[in-house]
Homo-oligomer: A and B are copies of this chain.
Amino acid sequence: MNADIKRERENATFDIEKMTHILDGSPEKTKRRREIESLVFNDPDFDEEDPNFLSRSERYDQAVRKSAQMILKMREFGIADPEEIYHYKSMAKGTLQEALGLHFVMFLPTLNSQCDAQQAEKWLPLAESYQAVGTYAQTELGHGTHLRGLETTSTYDPATQEFVLNSPTVSSIKWWPGGLGKSSNHAIVLAQLHTLGRCHGLHAFIVPIRDMETHQPLPGIVVGDIGPKFGFNEVDNGFLKLENVRVPRENMLMKYAKVEPDGVYVKPPSDKLTYGTMVFVRSMIVGESYRALAKACTIAIRYSAVRHQSELRPGEPEPQIMDYQTQQYKLFPLLASAYAFAFVGQYMTQTYHRISGDISQGDFSQLPELHALSAGLKAFTTWEANFGIEVCRMSCGGHGYSRSSALPDIYVEFTPTCTYEGENTVMMLQTARYLVKSFRQARAGQRLSGIVSYLNEPQDRRLQPQAAGARPALVDVNDLSSLVAVYRLRAAALVEMAAKNIQQELQRRASQEEAWNNSAIDLVRASDAHCHYVVVKIFTEKLAEVRDPAVHSVLSTLALLYALNGITRNSGDFLLAGLLSVPQVLQISVRIKELLSQLRLNAVSLVDAFDIHDKKLNSVLGRYDGNVYEHMFQWARRSPLNATEVHDSFHKYLKPLRSKL
């Protein structure tokens, strides 16, 4: 092991293993996760070429092979619990994606939840035995987040008792679904349902797209891969153009809405039923923000302990780059964010399970809050992690730009989370809608509960801009609960400001919609402040659960850094609302520097606690043993361009060039 990184570990002030248990949830969970992971990293069938050395087609081929392999192995090992499946797969996939991902994440669950009994009997066995490999075709060339705008049509023909599906325009071509291009032989197609001359909006249809034996596209189906992307190149995201494709009436998913044989449409009992999945997926993405940022921090911080550069003190050896204050300032706040998001992810999962318990008993009362929370936190954490991964990459200098660092892969595979499952700005505005609505309810005298209860506070506690005064003195910048309060007041101030802005716009203009759009910048800011408050609050509350004093101490330092750094980055907000005074903001800057040097000692151990196996990380810079340069050299020698000493292009172009001059 590299001597520097060894010394870093020896200097840790806390028990790394105990921290890992907290991040996993319990010692048992850590143990079980490692058992599952070891099934992959001890399995020679998962030894494979670095996908960075493969062509697109080889990369896809490797991913399909791995998908098939995972299915067989998990059956062999009896891995069936969703959490265990997650660990097994994420070890096998590393930073990359699964070719058949949508079959598991969308096709099977949709069949499960939206088939009636007869349909379930037919389709589930086909899907579970991979006779039917499926995907979920919703997004079109012209429409993403705005579902009502989707153009694909499914028109019922009572004469034959079939639906006729069509892509009436270029912009209606289905676009993006994972596994649609080459892998799937079925798709659940979302289309506008027309029957007896009326349109009943979006419904789901099972559409066979390829022959189950030959895998050739069926008549009327134009299907293929949408071409290379920033990342996800191991996945065949696809297009699907439907030309008078007929499917039997029974292929409409009919657990809720129905079309009778004669074409009569029967409405679903409630439209809140599909709401739950969306909320669940967004909650999961918060956890992904943690995991992606944790990977990036692991790589950048370990490398910063190994890399020596320049000089701090004349005549002394070159320092580790982690000794530079600017490097600490880039990385340690992100490390704090990774920890924060880990706990927010845990909170979201717990909340989801609690509330879905209520929902299954018919109590939808908490769904709007959960919906607003999951939308906002999905946007907040993915934006922050997205930005942070790139900071980590650039903090590794040139070597971060090499694919061998894994940082480019982590970024390109993570960045779509800002767009999919609800575009982030749209998500922030959805949360804002809930906040403004709650604010108005509170103003109308209604008593709010839950996470927005701070909007209840009497007017004199919600500070007006400029109406500061005595308050700032009350804030203790070293006390987390005091900081939670100040974040809460900032959120309240910004929600109020956005709501007032809408009011002013309404007084000037005609429509609600214009007033909303003309306040959108303020609304996004308000949502952002709300989410920021929630994250600081959850992180602070988590500390109360931690018994071990050494672990508690270092986690408190991280939480304090998270909270104070958020204040300096948004100091204008806190000053504008009169929540902090100028000397307090200056004091916070000083305090942040102290926290950075306190964390310096534990930085490597704090990323070790994420416990990301080298095989999963797949980064020469982030290796546990710190032996960076040797492995970078070994990796490079395997580059396909080095397969021959002299590349053909020399004979084709460079040598002939001389004679032409």
**A215 in contact with B636 (CB, 8 Å):** no
**B229 in contact with A144 (CB, 8 Å):** no
- A133: chain B residues at CB < 8 Å are 654
CB < 8 Å neighbour of A654 from B130, B226, B518: B130
**B408 in contact with A394 (CB, 8 Å):** no
Q: Which of A224, A641, A656 has most chain B Cβ within 10 Å?
A: A641
**A216 in contact with B661 (CB, 8 Å):** no
Q: A425: CB under 8 A from chain B?
A: yes
CB A489 to nearest CB in B, in angstroms, measures 16
Residues 335-351 of A at the B interface (beta carbon under 8 Å):
none
Q: A397: CB under 8 A from chain B?
A: yes
CB < 8 Å neighbour of A236 from B397, B424, B641: B641
- A129: chain B residues at CB < 8 Å are 658, 661
**B144 in contact with A397 (CB, 8 Å):** yes
Q: A55: CB under 8 A from chain B?
A: yes
Q: Which of A131, A400, A521, A658 has most chain B Cβ within 10 Å?
A: A521
CB A5 to nearest CB in B, in angstroms, measures 15
* Whole-angstrom CA separation of A517 from B321 in the bound complex: 12
Q: 0/1 per residue, A127-171, Cβ < 8 Å to B?
A: 001110100000101111110010000000000000000000011
Q: A266: CB under 8 A from chain B?
A: no
* Whole-angstrom CA separation of A64 from B224 in the bound complex: 31
**A404 in contact with B149 (CB, 8 Å):** no
Residues 257-312 of A at the B interface (beta carbon under 8 Å):
307-312
Q: A626: CB under 8 A from chain B?
A: no
Stretch at the interface among A366-374, A477-485, A581-589: A581-589
* Whole-angstrom CA separation of A520 from B327 in the bound complex: 10
- A655: chain B residues at CB < 8 Å are 215
Stretch at the interface among A27-35, A83-91, A645-653: A645-653
Q: A550: CB under 8 A from chain B?
A: no
* Whole-angstrom CA separation of A592 from B425 in the bound complex: 19
CB A116 to nearest CB in B, in angstroms, measures 26
User: A61-B649, A239-B633, A652-B65 known; A324 and B517 CB under 8 Å?
Assistant: yes
Instruction: Give A582's nearest chain B residue, CB to CB.
Output: B466
Stretch at the interface among A246-254, A450-458, A564-572, A611-619: A564-572
Residues 505-540 of A at the B interface (beta carbon under 8 Å):
511, 513-514, 517-522, 524
Q: A364: CB under 8 A from chain B?
A: no
Instruction: Give A655's nearest chain B residue, CB to CB.
Output: B215
CB < 8 Å neighbour of A309 from B145, B514, B635: B145
CB < 8 Å neighbour of A647 from B61, B521, B583, B660: B61
**A576 in contact with B586 (CB, 8 Å):** yes
Instruction: Give A227's nearest chain B residue, CB to CB.
Output: B639
**A170 in contact with B633 (CB, 8 Å):** yes
Q: 0/1 per residue, A302-330, Cβ < 8 Å to B?
A: 00000111111110001000011111011
Main secondary structure of the interface of A (DSSP, over half): helix
- A568: chain B residues at CB < 8 Å are 572
Q: A657: CB under 8 A from chain B?
A: yes
* Whole-angstrom CA separation of A216 from B651 in the bound complex: 12
Stretch at the interface among A412-420, A435-443, A553-561: A412-420
Q: A607: CB under 8 A from chain B?
A: no
Instruction: Give A184's nearest chain B residue, CB to CB.
Output: B654
* Whole-angstrom CA separation of A68 from B657 in the bound complex: 6
CB A129 to nearest CB in B, in angstroms, measures 5
- A401: chain B residues at CB < 8 Å are 229-232, 415-416, 419
Instruction: Give A658's nearest chain B residue, CB to CB.
Output: B130
- A314: chain B residues at CB < 8 Å are 513
CB A498 to nearest CB in B, in angstroms, measures 11
- A420: chain B residues at CB < 8 Å are 398
CB A376 to nearest CB in B, in angstroms, measures 15
CB A243 to nearest CB in B, in angstroms, measures 14
* Whole-angstrom CA separation of A257 from B71 in the bound complex: 67
- A640: chain B residues at CB < 8 Å are 55-57
User: A144-B397, A639-B228 known; A511 and B645 CB under 8 Å?
Assistant: no
- A429: chain B residues at CB < 8 Å are 326
Q: A465: CB under 8 A from chain B?
A: yes
- A513: chain B residues at CB < 8 Å are 311-314
**A225 in contact with B639 (CB, 8 Å):** yes
CB A441 to nearest CB in B, in angstroms, measures 23
* Whole-angstrom CA separation of A520 from B589 in the bound complex: 12
6 pairs from A and B in contact (CB 8 Å cutoff): A57-B641, A64-B652, A214-B646, A326-B521, A394-B419, A401-B419
Q: A57-B647, A570-B572 are in contact. List 5 more A-B contacts (CB 8 A).
A: A56-B640, A61-B648, A143-B309, A183-B654, A230-B401
For the complex of A and B, the 10 pairs showing the least CB-CB separation, nearest first, are A571-B572, A227-B639, A225-B641, A230-B408, A64-B649, A146-B310, A68-B653, A325-B520, A572-B572, A228-B403
